[in-house]
Structure 1
């Protein structure tokens, strides 16, 4: 299914999450998110002193979880 948005809506969509936003999106605690970052399961970028989680990294992490769940069957 394709959802069409106008340009203003597309510009309003985030491409980077701060850690508190990433915790809400993932439904995980701050500690768990930082652990995922530390062990390399959740990719981040830095801008100055701010650690940011790309939206694409969240999608990659979810895909990783789905692959791992499929392997366990």
Structure 2
């Protein structure tokens, strides 16, 4: 019997999970936890095309690479201390 995924599993950073490789896609709840934003805000970015999705059947998957590009595009360089 397959163990049901809990909210703690989703919130736990993916790179800290033992014996697993980084997934190439994540589902909406995982993306929300990874980005630290609301579900509705994530859907706004998907609707605007800033975050891409992949539909497989009824599943909505988000490529991790898309999330990485999304964050990189908004990364502001640190200001030098005065």
- The bucket for the TM-score relative to the shorter chain is 0.7 to 0.9
Confirm whether residue 49 of structure 1 aligns to residue 51 of structure 2: no
Higher relative contact order (CA 8 A, sep 6+): 1
The structure with more helix, counted as a fraction of residues: 1
Q: Deviations over 1:22-71 (max 9, x none)?
A: 000000000000000000111111111111111101101011112xx46x
What aligned pairs does 1:1-73 form with structure 2 within 5 A after superposition? 9=19, 11-66=20-75, 69=76
CA RMSD of aligned residues (A): 1.7
Where has structure 1 moved over 3 Å in runs of 4 or more? none
Report the TM-score, using the length of structure 1 for normalisation: 0.72
Structure 1 alignment gaps of length 5 or more: 1-7
Structure 2 alignment gaps of length 5 or more: 1-17, 78-82
